[in-house]
Amino acid sequence: MTLLQLLLGVPLALLGVLALPVVITLVQEIITKRKYRHIPGPKPSPISGNLREFLTAPGGLLGCLEGWVKRYGDLITFRLGSRQFVLVADPDAARNVMVRLPNHAAMSNPNMHLTKWDLRSMDVWGLLMARDDYWRGLRAAWQPAFSPASLRGYQALMDREALALAGRLRRQAAAAAAGGGGGGGPKAGEVEVMSEMSRVTLAVVGTAAYGVDFNAPEYGGSGAAAPGSGSGSGPGATLSLAASLEAFRSGRQPSLVSACNDFFRTMSPSARSTWSWAVALPCLLPAIRHVAAVAPDPVLGLHIQSRRVLRQVSTKLITAWRDSHTPASTSSTTSEGAATANGVAATADAAAAAAAGSSSPGVAPGSFLGLMLAARDRSRREGGGKDGAAASLTDAQIEAQVQTFLLAGFETTANALTFAVYLLASHPEAAARLRAEVDAHLPPLAPLEPEQEGGQAEQGSGGAAASQPLSLETLDKLLYTEAVLNEALRLFPPAHATTRETDKDMTIQGAHIPAGTTLWLSIAHLHTRDGVWPEPQAFRPERFLPPDVPGSAPELAPRHPHAHLPFGSGPRMCIGWRFAMQEAKTVLSRLVQAVEFSLAPGQAMPLDTVAGLTLAPRHGVWVRLSPRGAAGGRGQAAAAAAAAGKA
């Protein structure tokens, strides 16, 4: 062999090595296409499939799916990279799939696939992606955190954080009315709602999950910038990852609060790593993971950093638990209170202790993390028993559950509240009816507290206090408040889609679906489907009121029993949905009690949204605040009754 032949042979050999994964992928695409050729759908491109259309269609991801449904019907196949999906858009078929199929399909965000196993395992081991017997064991281990007693215990935390929000906004509205500053926007009295709601929900779910005070400075609270505030300062300011990427490039280490926000920012479809192309070639992915870990681009680097911070905090707290809990102390701790089905004490007092939080590096006994660790320790001492599944959980698997709790409960509730405020601000008549209900039932707020030097109120509530706490019994009376939230969840479902994986061949709407198929269920489409929802695009909360309530509109109720699925359905329905609704009702009612709001000048209508891991406002929601009367609540019962009569 001559030198020339050798020199020519090397690049040809490299070309062959690089071409092999492409050839393998193309062959797999041909095989897959034959399996689904009887199902209509858009024509895919080689390698990338329908990814370009998915990301660039007018209206984004949801607009793309809506267009496909109109063109191809209620059962559609499409491909994203190497992965084939079947979209199920019929309410009956979607409900049947959710009830019959127990397993979610593996999540397909490229940034998640590009992380190495120590971080990717948090998804595989978490409740959301758990499968079969492992999932059933986890579900039982999670249940105590959402028992009626635990939910009652968390109410004090929810009301405390809601009052803190009410105080901040109430003070800002008062300052604006007096001609002062107030901050929060380009003009006094303007505030970006998503930032404020993120701050509240992260404090609630973080404290409940970890049992530490998420308002403590060491976790990024108490004086830290509000989560999600981005880099802009007015309507149209982008709540994107630009500010986070700037901080990442500067080498700044994020707090736990910042890490949670960074995680969601890097899960947006617009946050694509330069390594994302590797997901389209699965046979190259293991090698690309190692290369990307050594040389990540800023987007992937930020994603990895955020996940490492979450793991580090969990590891630190679990270590503190293990160091401080001897078998004797653990036994005495878990014997207090009423035992649940898996033997964990999950009383209202225990949950309230977790809700109180602690800024010290320890785990409160009633927190989600505390409940999981106590269940495992007790089960191991007793050799399994009723809680045998918990005994086998490793520290890393428990970390995965806490991360799932935190991430599942943080942005979804914040976004739901943000959408509700947007809809109320753009529908004054609905806002007036909601204020009437709140004023009729809630304990009144105290007058604003005097500010200390530096502009801080004397109490941690930020200037809002109530004569009585907001109880669950009072929340149950807020029927219109709940209807507003349900209508907001219908029009803007944060969990806009879910997936299932077929464990065997099945038939959907007369079409054969092979085992191992990933089914895509578009909740957003089901929620605005013509023929199912009267006035599907209109904001009409009264459609969700019980028929015997004055002002209800049963003629606007859905014409299908399974048309409203903001938390899913079947065995994989969101386990924390009651927690989320309780928190949302508490926060929204306190907010409405404290201030009035209207859309700020420059706030875009209709609202521009982006569908990533969750559905969120693309540029946030800006409102202008106005102060209410000093009391609010039952002190305005007469006015409330009059307003309710007019609504």
| Residue closest to 589 by CA, chosen among 423, 474, 458 | 474
| Residue 260 annotated as lining a ligand binding site | no
Q: How far, CA to CA in Å, does 457 sit from each of 161, 180, 449, 451, 462?
A: 15, 16, 6, 5, 5
Please tell me what DSSP assigns to residue 186: S
What is the distance between the alpha carbons of residues 12 and 342, in angstroms, rounded to a whole number? 62
What is the distance between the alpha carbons of residues 647 and 637, in angstroms, rounded to a whole number? 15
Please tell me what DSSP assigns to residue 278: G
Amino acid at 605: M
What is the distance between the alpha carbons of residues 54 and 63, in angstroms, rounded to a whole number? 9
Q: Which residue has the tokens 């006035």?
A: 535
Yes or no: say if 135 and 404 are a contact pair by the CB < 8 Å rule: no
Yes or no: say if 563 and 533 are a contact pair by the CB < 8 Å rule: yes
Report residue 273: phi and psi, to 5°.
Answer: -75, 155
Which residues have a Cβ under 8 Å from the Cβ of 604 and sit 6 or more positions away? 235, 236, 619
The per-residue DSSP string of 40-65 comes to --PPPBTTTBTHHHHHHSTTHHHHHH
User: What are the beta bridge partners of residue 146?
Assistant: none
| Residue closest to 314 by CA, chosen among 252, 374, 404, 388 | 404
What is the distance between the alpha carbons of residues 487 and 421, in angstroms, rounded to a whole number? 12
Yes or no: say if 245 and 302 are a contact pair by the CB < 8 Å rule: yes
Burial class of 102 by CB neighbour count within 10 A (0 to 12, 13 to 18, 19+): middle
Which residues have a Cβ under 8 Å from the Cβ of 180 and sit 6 or more positions away? 188
Binding site members for heme = 574
Binding site members = 574
